[in-house]
Chains A and B, each alone.
Chain A
């Protein structure tokens, strides 16, 4: 069979899979479709090593597939179509099963592995957008972080010892959170689960046995994108960024790391688990990168068995590996946007999934360099928006690689931090980064509504806020296409229809729609709503209310922490006092947008 014919067959099979996905996936047949030669974008996001034969299993976000790699042979063994948009992957302790999270389907997928072959066993519905998975030490509990569901699903696993009805797993508890979660880590012998904010800087502590939220604490930082334990569980390592509202977005402050820093934080697991009054007690903070040498967007963290630590620095396409005999880290170049790490069984190699180059880098620990880069398969041509996506996550657009667009707008959303830039025309009045999700059609942009087209705003963000070189028109067009492609986040709760209707009536009565008219729930003008910044400016462009329930801070200076307090405490544009029921109805309506 020629390669072309084989390829055609794959495409036909893929089409069939798309048409009858559910039926196909419930069939519990081996995932026989090897799609490793299909030209497309894969976007690897997660990786596990499993089996004595040192196989790597890589979950691909965009293609929804899992690639099986033999790193010894430097070869893709197979690639299986598994889901729609995979976000994470864990290997179960029995070495024979994998669990994947399908963000788009809102499901977890249990897969049986035999050698390099995979077979789907079972699917489990979880709340919206599962983006992170974490397995307890004994393998009996699987936690799924549901981004837009703003919760963690705790799943009991009985793989191999099936319950009545043939189920391998079930959702035992849903733990609601006051933020959108992503990274998680079990600590204290898996009795506690630490859950990190996907955008801002909150950390939740969950009693894993009781399925109960114990506490929510603020970590100084945002973009908590890497989390693991080290030192035999003594340390909880978190890779994240910090932003200072005292600094300005200018060349001087960016160069010295005063505006935005990239960090690896070492928290004491004991104090975190024990809910010590000071979350940072006995902790350490290490800066990654430095002047002339920024380390934008630190992500996945890997603690090696010999005590060394590796951090994927996703904004500058590098792996930082701690030095043998001195403080600090050595930078090793890898592919674009390293997103997942795994160590070889002997600890001599680190495998790095490069999300935006669809490849796997193999780093030799003793040589401290990448010795190979393996393509996960042929890529399709990039659309304009896909070219924009590459730029959005590229820290090299900024001065010295300190930040990318993603640093302040994680995955297009907001990091909830105040930044003092020139978006409002002057320094001295830091304002919250605005979400870009669904912002493509909410002209004009910036808090003062001073940007009539998004292209100008993007150019200003790069040349002024990020102090990068002036981008080309093609780059701006690509970034604009990417931003326009970002959908508003989904609402977080099924609307109570009566309350929604009552709230909508109030919304109209109170004149909210004057500034927030549907369908975009924003207006092109600027309005004085009784707020002012440090320069005394009191006219602002109203942010869109679409997906407002997925925001964690409100108003230009973050003065309101909840949607309720926008009205109950800050009396935002209320012509009259609202009863508790009315307030609840109004908020319910807003949450339905």
Chain B
């Protein structure tokens, strides 16, 4: 199942599009020891996983809920008779193990058994709001580099046909060592670190390509899969990528950040809320300032991020103080003060969201609307995903589990003009969450609703209903020309209106002052 889900294209920078956990493949590729061994051993490990969830999760489900979701998952479309009742009576570790063994499909064997164990863990994870992700410590370290935009490698993506052990370079990152050495997308990797690539699995190739900054790796690269390789030795280095882009791509990694014909307006699209997001925004601010632009459309529609501190840094950079923002943890509310640095200070701002904007992006859009008076353009969000993830080590070197240890909150929940809380119904949010999850499992158990009880949705000031297909992946080879986007057009209009008001207001003010 894992192999088929990888199918055609496996990124060397494996999780560049860091999915929200429930939207993506919940496993890393190195959780082998967690699912290995005899079934009773696996059952005991699963019990310990549930214990960690109970100990660390911000809104932990019951152990029975986790076991039930896991067993429903391994049975796919039909639940065995008596499952719910039997699970509800589980209390001790031994009872947990016995229950798992009793309801484990009897005809499973070998590889199928491993796949079932993956399904079990995936189902178990769905019971926990925010899901669970299992990775090796090594993968977590890489993930951290990616989140921080400090990935160290040679700067390529690799693709291989189904287990064919032919590795083609999907793309090269302009500022990476491979691109600098003249390696082009479409070429084939024939040798890696002195070993023929055809003798290696994709994971082994990736392992050999990765290494500490400043170390070297010899490669054999050819134009054709059966061509004679040319030798290239690359020095691994940080491979920066863009987390923020403009509206129109001028050349690789060069974007035009200005839209608007009559009045120029800045347009910046945040792809990732990561380590470099604030620094990139700061550079764009200088460029926009030099081009005498002083209003901004901030596109958060496809923005996603994994690390709380990156989201807090971005909120801090875009808001001029105004008190703390925070996170609800098990031990209570933890707030982070916002300081008085402020990008695009005093600029009118429009923020783009869709119904799928979630997590840090949704939280940020709400903050910008509430505290900065930003005009939110787009669709009402669902509040269905607002978790703060942390990684905890699993016992006995089984790897690392990432889970929701906190929930994003505002100290003062945003309220609409009528003074009502902007909470949506549990049912609506659950429906939205199912869309995000994209899994048949989510409808099987009411535990998933727990995550959906989200009081923080963002209601747009200007609603845009559009079927316009706008890709948000910064890895997409063809980037859309967003100057044609109805979202952008609505935002320009809204900003023009606001600017008109502001300038007439300013005139009135200055008249008063003088």
Contacts and interface: CB of A to CB of B under 8 A. Distances in A.
Contacts of A242: 339
Contacts of A250: 144
B340 A283 contact: yes
A428 B342 CA distance: 28
A336 interface: no
A256 B341 contact: no
A247 B313 CA distance: 10
Contacts of A256: 148, 275-276, 278-279, 313
B309 interface: yes
Contact of A255 (B275, B290, B308): B275
Contacts of B312: 246
Contact of A246 (B276, B286, B308): B308
Contacts of B336: 246
A285 B339 contact: yes
Q: How large is the interface on B (under 10, 10 to 19, 20 to 34, 35 or more residues)?
A: 20 to 34
A280 B321 contact: yes
B227 interface: no
Contacts of B308: 246
B237 to A, nearest CB: 12
A326 B276 contact: no
A250 B321 CA distance: 27
Nearest to B392: A428
B258 to A, nearest CB: 18
A283 B342 CA distance: 11
A242 B275 CA distance: 17
A269 interface: no
B145 A252 contact: yes
Given A246-B312, A258-B275, A251 B341 contact: no
A253 interface: yes
A247 B309 contact: yes
Interface in A236-251: 242, 244, 246-247, 250-251
Interface residues of A, number: 26
Counting chain B CB atoms within 10 Å of each CB, the highest count among A244, A256, A286, A428 belongs to A256
Interface in A243-277: 244, 246-247, 250-253, 255-256, 258, 265
A287 B341 contact: yes
A220 interface: yes
A422 B309 CA distance: 18
Contact of B313 (A252, A258, A265, A290): A258
A285 B278 CA distance: 15
Interface in B97-117: none
B341 A285 contact: yes
B150 A251 contact: yes
Counting chain A CB atoms within 10 Å of each CB, the highest count among B286, B289, B321, B337 belongs to B321
A291 B337 contact: no
A287 B281 CA distance: 14
A513 to B, nearest CB: 34
A19 interface: no
A252 B150 contact: yes
B308 to A, nearest CB: 7
Interface string B140-161: 0000110110100000000000
B148 A253 contact: yes
Given A252-B145, A255-B150, A255-B275, A244 B309 contact: yes
A244 B316 CA distance: 13
Nearest to A267: B340
A309 to B, nearest CB: 16
A244 B310 CA distance: 12
Interface string A473-496: 000000000000000000000000
A256 B144 CA distance: 13
A73 interface: no
B339 A220 contact: yes
Interface string A228-239: 000000000000
B418 to A, nearest CB: 29
15 contacts: A220-B337, A247-B309, A250-B144, A252-B144, A252-B145, A252-B148, A252-B275, A256-B148, A256-B279, A258-B310, A280-B321, A284-B340, A284-B341, A285-B339, A286-B341
Given A265-B340, A280-B340, A327-B286, 6 more contacts: A255-B148, A255-B275, A256-B275, A280-B339, A284-B340, A284-B341
Interface of A: 220, 242, 244, 246-247, 250-253, 255-256, 258, 265, 278, 280, 283-287, 290-291, 326-328, 428
The 9 closest A-B pairs by CB, nearest first: A252-B148, A285-B341, A246-B309, A252-B150, A256-B275, A285-B340, A283-B340, A280-B340, A285-B339
